[in-house]
Every structure is written in C-alpha cells, then in structure tokens.
Amino acid sequence: QSNLIFKLHHKSASYITKMFSRPLSSAFRQAARPAPTLASKFSYPRITPIAARFLSTETKAAIDKAVSSAPVVLFMKGTPETPQCGFSRASIQILGLQGVDPAKFTAFNVLEDEDLRAGIKEYSEWPTIPQLYVEKEFVGGCDILVAMHQNGELAKMLEEKKVLIPAESEAPAS
C-alpha cells in the first residue's frame, strides 16, 4: 500500500491580499513575456501510454480525490506561502491577480510525496510542475497560465466557472 498523504492548503482572503500586494517576483516578470495568442499552441513531449501504465490504481484514485477536493486545485512545489520554485510562485501570483476565491482554492505540495510528484505528471500527461486544475479539468502549467492570463482566456474561464471572489454587490448579505 502506498502512503500517499496530500496536504491541503486553504488560504484566507487576508493572506491572498497580502501575498499579491507584494511586487511581482523576478521569476514572474521573466515568465510574463509576451506570449502567443492561443495557449493551445504550446506543445511538450507527452508521456507515452506505456509510461502512463505505471500509474497505480491507488495513486490514480488518490489524485482523482485531490483534483476533486476544490474547484481550483494547484499541484506545486512548496506551499502558497512558501513556493519552492519561481514557476510555482508565478502561478500563485497569477491566481491571486485573477481574484480566485481562497475558499475555492486548494494547493498540494508535490515535494512532500514522491508518489504524488511522479503520479501527477503521468495522470495529466504533462511533464512539468506546477499544474492547475479547474473544475476537475487540467488547464496547464505556468507557461500556459501566463499566456492565458495575458490574452484574457484565464479571466474568462475563471469567471465562467464562478471561482472568483464575489464583487461587493454580489456578496451574500450577512
């Protein structure tokens, strides 16, 4: 039996506000260069069906559960408070700039579990971390997020999926 232990990281609105009021990191500035108009133009070597067969049923079930744990799920290196790579930091910053509701967001630190780190790459057939899922659908890695952020596709998708912090006028009365 594998001992997959995925730790959830829910962020409060005050943390998200504080996190995104800081200047953008140099990694984000570097990643935020002009991008193609369609994120679908990116292509990476895909994991072959032979490699995907090594994803155990137990690991797949655990990742299915993780992907379903919140409307917005990010598999990253480190945590939202302490990202361990520039691409994970840039992804967190983009989600904050977009206004993702912290109550609808969960992050998983792939550095805490080697089965998760290897398994998520096979699960998505995407070779890099971070990886973003919205409503159980794989969106992409940092480069895709940057391109979608720049061309407006990410804002449109997040709004359609209703995962953004509600505007003051839309907030439920207390």
How do the domains of the chain map onto residue ranges? Answer: 13-162
* HSE-CB for 38 with a 13 A CA cutoff: 3
Beta-strand ranges (E) seen in 32-122 are 72-76, 105-109
Amino acid type, 45 = P
At 70, which helix (H) or strand (E)? none
Residue bearing tokens 């505007």? 167
Q: What is the pLDDT of residue 173?
A: 57
pLDDT digit string, tens, across residues 121-133: 999 999 999 999 9
Whole-angstrom Cα Rg for the chain = 16
pLDDT at position 37: 41
DSSP category for residue 15 = H
Spans of the chain, pLDDT less than 70: 1-53, 169-174
Per-residue pLDDT at 21? 43
pLDDT given for residue 174 in this prediction: 54
- The arrangement of secondary structure in 13-162, i.e. its CATH architecture, is 3-Layer(aba) Sandwich (3.40)
